[in-house]
Structure 1
Amino acid sequence: MLQAASAIPAAAGQPTDNILVAENVSKRFGGFLAVSNLNLAVRRGSIHALIGPNGAGKTTCFNLLTKALALSSGRIMFNGSDISDLRSAAVAKRGLVRSFQISATFPNLTVLENVRVALQAKHGKSYHFWRSIHSIDSLNARALELIGEVGLSASQGVTAAELSYGKKRALEIATTLALEPELLLLDEPTAGMGHEDIEPITDLIRRVAVGRTVLLVEHNLSVVSTLCDRITVLQHGQIIADGTYAEVSANPLVRTAYLGEDDA
């Protein structure tokens, strides 16, 4: 059986192996302890999943790691620097980016225009009414590269409202990539998708992970089993298992808490 991870996974390796490390992180909401003494290490260049039943604390954990929520205790290290007291915008500039930080796509803008807006935010070229629209033409080449990276080249002139659900998620990933993340956090990237969209999005995540690190929350275990290098399982705000899919799926604690199986 795996240990319930009171020590940081993979801490025995070189410090530079881990791009993100959470040490004894806790979050209280009044008298409710949502995340308790959490230790987590995300290895550079990996695809790492957080899984667990509803109410396990996955979203709270994500919000703490991206600094959308302040820590009650503990610390978070990113690329060897303590980011515990930084705000979410500051950590995004350092390269730790959650998918919704370039929020929902603009439904009446085309795919190209949506990605260009994200690039404007990154490069400080926000459009003002007194400037010519051609002042942001220099961003088109990079926007087209990103659109191609997520497989939307044929849809660059289509408005976001006209895209299928799966293609909208691909567009959201493209706008997030415009921020040049070193660590990309994705919150349930396949949620609400039909079977026909899940495989393309899984393939997309695998492609965009090249040269980056990805941390995701995902409920679809078939996606997790084929996509992720390492899996951390949460229950009641605590880590109960951490390892490969084969390791965590064989863990009796995980079977009881997540899969609903009896330990007997």
Structure 2
Amino acid sequence: MSNVVLETRGLTKEFNGFTAVDSVDLQVQQGHIHALIGPNGAGKSTFFNLLTRFLPATRGEVLYRGKAIGTLAPNQIACQGLVRSFQISAVFGHMSVLENVRVALQRPLGTSFHFWKPASSLDRLNQRAMQLLEEVDLQGFATRKTVELPYGRKRALELATTLALDPQVMLLDEPTQGMGHEDVERVVELIRKAAVGRTVLMVEHNLQVVSSLCDRITVLARGKVLAEGDYPAVSANPQVREAYMGKEAAHV
């Protein structure tokens, strides 16, 4: 299918006889926000690590825009436009908010490790860095040390650094984890805005986020695909209710 941007075929990961991801076939459509949900231990984060080669697959393949990427290094995959975030906020706490984004902007230029150059040489990146901060409503925090930011704002900053790599497909691992209601609403709107013209695959536990944001949902359980479809179809599936949603589904 020409509109499939990311696909897995029989993707499997085994650890000493334990199968964490079991023959998963997945297709992510261009322009969709696609959620990957499931109970703890379902294999979601392992699956993300396989997509971006932070872990090698035992069997199966990953295709990005129709081409197998299973032999590429994580940085090579990112350079092709498939960029991920992590469950734990990955920002530099003692740098300013602007500097964090500027470091991310350096990566495509190949200048991230030019330590001997004066800081002023990076000033040309400031305008684009500020544009990215405006996209995630952090323009008023540009000079603040990142360690001083509330948790929700740090996750917004992480989204800005992800956008700095100009991703075509964003892989977001638990983007609202540990947030209060107000921060969740803010980050959902930021993801919705960032997704315009892009494709998003996200691991997410918050079912209200999934129901309001995602075009398609894949449910993993014990490493296998249990169900797939839009939210009404998935939430009505008795196996999904039993394996993942439980009583919570009645309140979403």
Q: CA deviation at 1:260?
A: 3.1
Letter in 1 for 2:194: V
8 Å contact from structure 1 (residues 108, 161) kept in 2: yes
Structure 2: how far apart are the matches of 1:54 and 1:153? 36
8 Å contact from structure 1 (residues 233, 242) kept in 2: yes
- Which of 142, 150, 155 is the matching residue for 2:141? 155
Letter in 2 for 1:88: P
What per-residue deviation string (whole Å, max 9, x for no partner) do you get for residues 206-236 of structure 1?
A: 0000011010000000000000000000000
Partner-residue secondary structure (3-state), 1:260 = helix
Identity %: 56
1:58 aligns with 2:44: yes
1:38 aligns with 2:19: no
Structure 1: how far apart are the matches of 2:208 and 2:16? 37
**Aligned CA distance change for structure 1 residues 93 and 127 (closer, same or farther; 3 Å):** closer
Structure 1: how far apart are the matches of 2:15 and 2:74? 19
Structure-1 residue corresponding to 2:250: none
State the superposition RMSD in angstroms. 1.6
Partner-residue secondary structure (3-state), 1:16 = coil
Structure 2: how far apart are the matches of 1:83 and 1:125? 25
Letter in 1 for 2:107: A
Structure 1: how far apart are the matches of 2:63 and 2:229? 21
TM-score scaled by structure 1? 0.90
Structure 2: how far apart are the matches of 1:243 and 1:200? 26
Structure 2: how far apart are the matches of 1:248 and 1:216? 16
What per-residue deviation string (whole Å, max 9, x for no partner) do you get for residues 124-178 of structure 1?
A: 2236453222211111111111111111111111111111111100001111111
Partner-residue secondary structure (3-state), 2:245 = coil
Partner-residue secondary structure (3-state), 2:218 = strand
Q: CA deviation at 1:191?
A: 0.5
Q: 1:100-111 residue pairs with structure 2 within 5 A?
A: 100=86, 104-111=90-97
Letter in 1 for 2:135: E
Structure-2 residue corresponding to 1:207: 193
Q: 1:14-25 residue pairs with structure 2 within 5 A?
A: 15-25=1-11
Structure 2: how far apart are the matches of 1:179 and 1:231? 26
8 Å contact from structure 2 (residues 5, 64) kept in 1: yes
1:251 aligns with 2:237: yes
Letter in 2 for 1:143: A
Structure 1: how far apart are the matches of 2:93 and 2:203? 25
8 Å contact from structure 1 (residues 127, 136) kept in 2: no
- Which of 140, 143, 158 is the matching residue for 1:172? 158
Structure 2: how far apart are the matches of 1:119 and 1:259? 39
Structure-1 residue corresponding to 2:105: 119
**Aligned CA distance change for structure 1 residues 148 and 258 (closer, same or farther; 3 Å):** same
What per-residue deviation string (whole Å, max 9, x for no partner) do you get for residues 170-213 of structure 1?
A: 00111111111110001101100011111000000000000110
Q: Please list every run of 5 or more consecutive structure 1 residues that lacks an aligned counterpart in the other structure.
A: 1-14
Letter in 1 for 2:28: V
1:223 aligns with 2:209: yes
8 Å contact from structure 2 (residues 86, 174) kept in 1: no
Partner-residue secondary structure (3-state), 1:168 = helix
Q: Please list every run of 5 or more consecutive structure 2 residues that lacks an aligned counterpart in the other structure.
A: 248-252
8 Å contact from structure 1 (residues 49, 218) kept in 2: yes
Partner-residue secondary structure (3-state), 1:38 = strand
Q: CA deviation at 1:110?
A: 1.0
Structure-2 residue corresponding to 1:234: 220
- Which of 52, 58, 66 is the matching residue for 1:80? 66
What per-residue deviation string (whole Å, max 9, x for no partner) do you get for residues 33-74 of structure 1?
A: 111110000001000000000111111111111111111111
Partner-residue secondary structure (3-state), 1:232 = strand
